[in-house]
Structure formats: C-alpha cells, structure tokens
Copies of this chain bind each other. A is one copy, B any other.
C-alpha cells in the first residue's frame, strides 16, 4: 500500500438543521469579527445564528454573494476590496462551490502579501491567517472538504485551480436541509458532479485504499438517492444521503482527485459556460467506456458499488455499471448529448486543446488520452 496524505476539516457537523447551531461553534466562540459570505437563496438560514452571535457581543457582517456563473479573478478582487475593511478574523462561507471557493480564498488572501496570480497551481499559498468555516448548500462540489479552489481567468478564459493545504476549512457544517430548496435541475447536475468525483477517484491511476473507502461509499449513496431527490426535493433521507455522498466526493479530491472527465469538461465550462456538473454528467459515461479497458476488474467493482448485480464476466459487469450511470443521469433529466447544449462539431478541436492543457488531471487518468482520443470522445457525444 502506497503512502497518502488525507487533509480534512477537524470538525464536521452533519445532519438536517445542523447549521442552526453555528453560533455555538468552538471556532466562533474564539472569534471576534465574523464575516459570512452567503449565497442569496440561503440568506434566511443564517439570520438566527447571526442574531445569537451579535447578542454575544461579536461583530458580524453578512456579505451577500449574488454573482452568476463561475467566479472570475476580477470578481474575487472585488470581494477582497469590499470585505477587507471589516477586518474579519473568521470567514464563514455558506453556498455552492463558487461561494465556498471564494470564502476559502478570502480567508487565505485578504491579509496576505501574495496575490491571487501568485498562488495558482499546487502548493504556492504560504498560509492562511483567518479561521474558516464552510457550509455547502448543494450536494455536489465537495469544496467544503477539499484543498482546491477554482476560479475563471477572464482574460485567458481558462479555469485556474489553486490547490493548498491551507484551503481546507477548519470546520464544516453539512446541513441537508439547506439543499431542499435546490431545483431538480441543479440537484441533478451537482449530484452527478459529486458522483463523478467519487468515480474518477476510484478508477484513478493513483487510487488508494484509504480513499476508495470514501469513493465507494459515495458512489453507493449517490446512485441510490439522486433520482429520489430530483423527483422529490423534500425527501430529507435522500437529501441527507446525497449530502453525505457529496462530502465523500470532496474528501477524495485532495489525495487523489479527478481525471479525464473533469479535464475534458474544462473547455465546456471555461469557454462555453456549460454548468460544471452538467458538462461532467454528459462526459462521464463515454469517458468510462474509453477507460474501461485499462482495468476491467476495477470498473466491475465500480459497477457493484453503483448497485449493479454481478454479471457473467467482469467486462459485462463493468458495462452494466456504465449503463447504470447513464440511466441515473437520464432519469434525473440530464441531457445526454453535447448538441443539446449548443456544442457543435467544429469547436471540438478547440475543446480538446483546452483539455490537453489540464495535465494536472489527465495524468490521473487510468488510460492515456491523446488529443485525437478527446475529439473522438466528444464526437460520440454530439
């Protein structure tokens, strides 16, 4: 067994309505000036904890995050400028992946001599001076568990990853009740993203038994519950299972991370503004078909984790697993073709070029992906 490093929040509160107890948090109790970065739809969820914090004599500022699309470098600079005067010692992010990624970077960069441009890549961040609490409002990104933040460089239109141990939050609140109001389409897309994290970690070239634990369990939970949550958003058991699966999807991102699906989706997101989860959901089955031959047994194990009954051969089991992924995706209303989201054949070489640059993730893929392979995968999905 190889060595691995698991970085994770030291405290994870999990369960419906757990965010209501935010004001009692150990980290809040030792903070004086608390800045909450909160997505618009969940502003109501922080009202009561904020009132308790203020009654306890804390200085609290709620900054509403209401910016559409993926956060850009320019947006982040604006956030720093607007929140810096408050001089917080603790940042609380409440929202989807964009909000959490910004909260994580604010905690690390607001009082730092390093600029955003200095820290793009793996391990360049020199520290984080503010305490950091994250509460996800989608079951998808897993940002609350990971050392990753992704921003869009609006000049190059490239998605840029900032990866650092200092971006792992200290404390996390995973409150499935916050995801109940999420529309079915977003539930489906973010859920497929979480499934993708788990699958890409399990089939990864650098898969590790200590990470498989999370990946396999996440795969099972999401496969069993995504359709339920899409069809009945108020099904709290399904929402809770998805939240847990998404948490596991986040846990795998640090030590192992994703591979070709996420690499091939970079251009779809960065250049064509296809929502991240949707892009991954469309790509996932075809990339699995491409990867399968690299390790048929592993892909059969994936199928079993998805809930597929073992077939006569590992190959048949693995294929049944891929069909199960497609069936879940379809049942949740996810488009299955790139043409349905406005992608046409002539842009495929450009998409493939962008993907080829994401070597950080392509290197994780169990099978080498050439530019021609990438174009062939996209083409099958037209």
Binding site for B on A (CB under 8 A): 1-18, 26, 165, 168, 170, 176, 209-210, 213-214, 217, 221, 236-237, 240-241, 244, 247-248
Contact = CB atoms under 8 A, between A and B. Distances in A.
B6 A11 contact: yes
16 contacts: A1-B16, A1-B176, A1-B236, A2-B15, A3-B17, A4-B14, A5-B14, A10-B168, A10-B170, A14-B210, A209-B221, A209-B241, A209-B244, A210-B244, A213-B214, A213-B244
**A168, A210, A247, most chain B CB atoms within 10 A:** A210
A203 B210 CA distance: 23
A3 B26 contact: no
A16 B210 CA distance: 13
A1 B240 contact: yes
Scoring A4, A168, A248 by chain B CB atoms within 10 A of each residue's CB, the highest score goes to A4
Given A1-B240, A4-B15, A8-B12, 19 more contacts: A1-B176, A1-B236, A1-B244, A3-B16, A5-B11, A5-B13, A5-B14, A6-B11, A8-B10, A9-B10, A10-B10, A10-B168, A10-B170, A14-B210, A26-B165, A209-B221, A209-B244, A213-B213, A213-B244
Contacts of A5: 11-14
